[in-house]
Amino acid sequence: MGRRYGQHFLSDAGILQRMLDCAQLTVDDTVVEIGPGPGVLTEMLLKRVGRVIAIEIDSNLHQKLRARLWGHDNLTLVAGDALQFDYGGIERFKVVSNIPYCITTPLIFKLLEEARGLQSMTLMLQKEVAQRITALKGGKAYGVLTLMVQYRSSTSLDFIVPRGAFRPPPKVDSAVVSFVTLTVPAVTVNNEQSFFKVIRTAFLRRRKTIANNLKPYAINIKDILGDIGIDHMTRPERLSLEEFASIALALEQRRHNNINAQL
């Protein structure tokens, strides 16, 4: 049970209580739980918040949850795929979940990009992914995931959870990460998709300099970088979110200038 969807269930009440404390929940909150599994965390949430929406893709687990949690008026139990769920219909909510490892990155992006009512997330993640999300500039873990999450939220790695706390135990340790969504993105860009593409291109080859990685954008990329105060020999992990925004803007301006010159 759970292996089909990559879930590893955690039933240690002490760890779950610590996770709930990190989420800073109130009786007025609506909480979405993704992959509730056997429902241990769900029961704890139901006692603490005003409403819980639990999304479970496994039909067998869904039936068992219905039986276990029958009678809770503040529970909405959804049978379905969290990656296909429409979060836009929830006005204000928080996410508290031990999410299936196999959907971690796409789920985080979906929530940050599409869920306008999202206030915060407290998620149990693989330790390595948690370290990448919360990495500081200049470190080996700092990269595309760090920057794309930083664009829409502030994050903190709250505590590590050993693999032995789960059933079945995964092959790696886990960590609880808190995300607080930003009311406006951390930096201003003209085109988000172009901005994210610049970031992904910059990290295609981590050992190369920023100029080498961005060479496909412009022959004179060294000059473009120099004009905005960035050393072309810098490696991508040394650049901040703000510096990537400046690069994206400079490349976009160059493209517009070239178009205008051809008219």
Q: What is the pLDDT of residue 2?
A: 44
Are 40 and 156 contained in the same domain? yes
Q: Are residue 168 and residue 246 in the same domain, yes or no?
A: no
pLDDT recorded at residue 3: 46
Kindly indicate the confidence band of residue 8, based on its pLDDT and cuts at 50, 70 and 90: confident
Q: Which residue has the higher pLDDT, 37 or 240?
A: 240
- Residue 186 in any domain: the answer is no
39 and 136 share a domain? yes
Number of domains in the chain: 2
1 pLDDT above the threshold of 50: no
Residue 33's CATH number: 3.40.50.150
Tell me, what's the pLDDT at 168? Answer: 82
pLDDT at position 249 over 90 = yes
Domain extent for 200:
192-262
Backbone torsions φ then ψ of 79, nearest 5 degrees: -95, 110
Read off the pLDDT of residues 37-75 as tens digits, 9 standing for 90 and up. Answer: 999 999 999 999 999 999 999 999 999 999 999 999 999
Q: What is the mean pLDDT of residues 83-102?
A: 94
Entry pTM:
0.92
pLDDT of residue 6: 53
Is 52 among the domain residues?
Answer: yes
Which of 157, 181, 205 represents a domain boundary (last residue)?
181
pLDDT digits (tens, 9 = 90+) for 161-205: 999 888 888 889 999 999 999 999 999 999 999 999 999 999 999
